[in-house]
A and B are shown apart, each in its own frame.
Chain A
Amino acid sequence: MAAVRSQEEGGFFAWMMAPERRGPMLVAPALIVLFVMNIFPLLWSFGLSFFNYRANRQDIPDFVGLRFYERVLTDPDVWERFQTTALIVGSSVLVQLILGFLLALMFANQFPLRRVLLMLVLAPMMLSFVSVGVFFKLYYEPTFGLLSQAVRVFTGSTYAILGSPTGAIIAIVIADAWMWAPFVMLLVLAGLVSVPKYLYEAAEIDRASWWRRFRTITFPYIRSLLLLAVLFRTIETFKLFDIVYIITEGGPGTATETIAVYTYRVAFQFFRTSQSSALAYIILFVVIVLTNLYLYAVKQREREVS
């Protein structure tokens, strides 16, 4: 009797896929992976930041409260790394914005080979950080690197851009901007093509100059997208690690050591696990503050528009 009923009801698969269970069952694998790989380590490291613990020792962690937060916040090195990061973020995002903007203005028009060129320009964005890093490392290489070779044509001697602190920062900014200017371009381009053509014509009839049309018609349409681009790129660049680590490893000295590279060093070279956890949470806090600042700006803008 019981066997007959269970056959009627179907097997394990049918039980799992019953309408009331189907949804939760389908999302369960993703949730489990998310929890095991993201949420648990996140909480665990948050916990570790309040304990004295080193990942390369077997000592029992002991609770020290906010000691490492205090240590990080009073560490002059941390402030220096924050300044380096801010400098790189500021200049890189600025260069990306300008380049992306100009590219978008160019690609908003129709011209021969536009599609092919557009694909080429978008390519850097699709590459992995590691390949971009390796590519620029070779590009900047003093003896056979392209840049050095090119400079030698004019000056007669090789040029090691990564040799000086300023040069190294410029090199990093160039690499990052090269990779991400297309992203800004995509956003701005989306804004540019969304401007109805007849508004430009109406403005022309209303005797507006090119600059005035840009200021009063184009810019309002792309302003919010620009803000979004700045937000994305600032947050992303703030976490910049791969490119810097591959091209300069933070050098010369600590000239290009961003806060992300510094955290990596503290965590995996000095094995100050707790201190690096605390630092990571301070960075997270900074990023959250930045995000909210921008979101506030975006909302403010929306209120202006509607």
Chain B
Amino acid sequence: MAHLRVSDVVRRYGSVTALDGMSFAVEEGEFYCILGPSSAGKTTTLRAIAGLEPLESGSIEFAGRDMTRAPVQGRGMAMIFQTFALYPHMTVAKNFAYPLERDGVGRAEIEQRVGEVAELLRVTHTLNRKPDTLSGGEQQRVAIGRALVRRPKLLLLDEPLTNLDAKLRHDTRAEFKRLHRELGMTMLYATPDQLEALTMGQRVAVIRDGRVVQIETPRHLYERPLNTYVAGLVGAPAMNLLRGRVAAGNGGAMLDLGFAGIDLAHGDTGLTPGEPVVVGIRPHDIRLGADTGRGRVLEAQVHLREPLGDVTVVDLRLGDAAAKMVVREEVGVGLVEGSGIEVTIDPADLHVFHAETGTRLG
């Protein structure tokens, strides 16, 4: 029995369909991520679950109860908004106390719980200040605190890191994992950043145009993307997607990429010769140097180098196709833009997708 079940939810704004049959289920205590680019429907999904959006159709079930028509106040969920939505005219302490004040919780207990939450999030020193005097990171932690203070069964997080700078994002990612482990509550986390989804999520739902594309653990999502959309979204730099065609090779199928042909090692691939396909290869899977023992060696030309500090992203030209490769910094330094090099591709690392539908083949 899933803790939260979203079934076939449809939400339209005029002629725009924001959610088009959104369905997924979250287990109790899970850290569940919704990954998708902007306007894919992440925020609308969370708002629908919280009850802030009326639904055209579909249902939302939570903790064994149908919540589809339940009022926002009665759902027992908390939400952290992308903009934080702190009450600007109240002090941090008042912000924390706000969700508690209606339960008939005693003044002493409110004070105690506010103190606990402030300590948990390390904002005790800001309790008597107004939100606009806080730094972005502190505001973020106050927003988290306000959501946690009443110990909700489900916490909805709407791109909570988007408004923070890079360093803070990194720290807060770790913070969320720590909170999840310590508090053990169910968390539903929407983000456009694949890194956040992969590092924090126990499971990730990739969505597109208001619909779920693939639900997997981060590892599987990365290793076996269901289609080119997921393949392009998950992993950085993004997977190289090259146009090609299936050809008959010696003893199995061969992929004709125009500039070269690659024999697929595994025997029966289910690929029909002559079929146009999209071939995906991760930048990390293109290896510098000729190593025939490990795979097919290709001629390539170094087009551009992007040193990132620890690694260098190299923009390659393979015939008239372009691909990115990642090498260690000290190796990347030696590559001259415009020079020819050899790279090795292991056929086992290739992802083959249907040319038109983008669906994974084999």
A residues near B, CB below 8 A?
Answer: 196, 198-199, 201-209, 212, 216-217, 220-221, 305-306
Contacts and interface: CB of A to CB of B under 8 A. Distances in A.
B347 interface: no
Given A203-B98, A206-B98, A206-B99, 18 more contacts: A199-B85, A199-B87, A199-B88, A201-B47, A202-B87, A204-B51, A204-B52, A205-B52, A205-B72, A207-B72, A207-B99, A207-B150, A208-B102, A209-B102, A216-B90, A216-B98, A220-B89, A221-B89
Contacts of A196: 85
Interface string B62-82: 000000000011100111010
A205 B77 contact: yes
A202 B156 CA distance: 12
A209 B78 CA distance: 15
Contacts, number: 54
Interface of B: 47, 50-52, 72-74, 77-79, 81, 83, 85-90, 98-99, 102, 130, 146, 150
Nearest to B132: A306
Contacts of B86: 202
Given A217-B87, A220-B89, A305-B89, A201 B52 contact: yes
B349 to A, nearest CB: 45
B72 A204 contact: yes
Interface centre among B50, B78, B98, by most A CB within 10 Å? B98
A208 B77 contact: no
Kindly list the 10 A-B residue pairs having the minimum CB-CB distance in the complex, ordered from nearest.
A202-B85, A206-B99, A204-B72, A207-B73, A198-B85, A220-B89, A205-B79, A206-B98, A201-B52, A198-B83
Contacts of B78: 205-206
A206 B146 contact: yes
A306 B133 CA distance: 10
B133 to A, nearest CB: 10
A199 B78 CA distance: 14
A208 B98 contact: yes
Contacts of A204: 51-52, 72-73
A198 to B, nearest CB: 4
A208 B73 contact: yes
A202 B85 CA distance: 6
A153 B73 CA distance: 49
A192 to B, nearest CB: 15
Contacts of B51: 204
Contact of B81 (A202, A207, A212): A202
Nearest to B152: A205
Contacts of B81: 198, 201-202
